[in-house]
Amino acid sequence: MIAQTPQPPYYAVIFTSVRTEGDHGYNEMANQMVALGSTMKGFLGIESAREEIGISVSYWDSLESIKAWKQEAAHQVAQEKGRSQWYAAYKTRISLVERDYGFEQ
C-alpha cells in the first residue's frame, strides 16, 4: 500500500538493507516492529518491499518522533539483532520531504 501521508513537509526514514541467509526470527520481529512503530507518536505511514535488497520507508512528523522510535526499548533490541544476525549491511537516511505528487487510475 502507498502510504497516505499529509501535505509536506514531513520526514522520511529510508532504510535500505541486505539480509543474511536464513530467517533467524526476522520475519516475526519485522512484523512486530511495524505494528509497534505504527503506534508511536508522530508515525505517518510505512512502505516496504524486498528483492535483492530491502527498502522500507517510514514517514514521521518530526525528527523528535524519529529519535523516540530509534530509542524505544523493544526497537533497540531489534536493532541489535539486526546487526548481530539479520543484516549483512544496511543504510539509514533521514530526509525531509519537501514536495510530493501522485497519480491514481
Which residues of this protein are in contact with a copy of itself, per CB under 8 A?
A: 1-3, 5, 8, 12, 14, 16-18, 20, 47-55, 57, 82-83, 87-105
d(Cα 25, Cα 100) in Å, to the nearest integer?
Answer: 36
CB atoms within 10 A of CB 37: 19
77 or 94: CB nearest a copy of itself: 94
41 or 93: CB nearest a copy of itself: 93
In whole angstroms, how close is the CB of 66 to a copy of itself at the nearest point? 10
In whole angstroms, how close is the CB of 70 to a copy of itself at the nearest point? 11
CA distances from residue 80 to 1, 23, 27, 59, 87 in whole angstroms, order as listed: 28, 16, 15, 22, 10
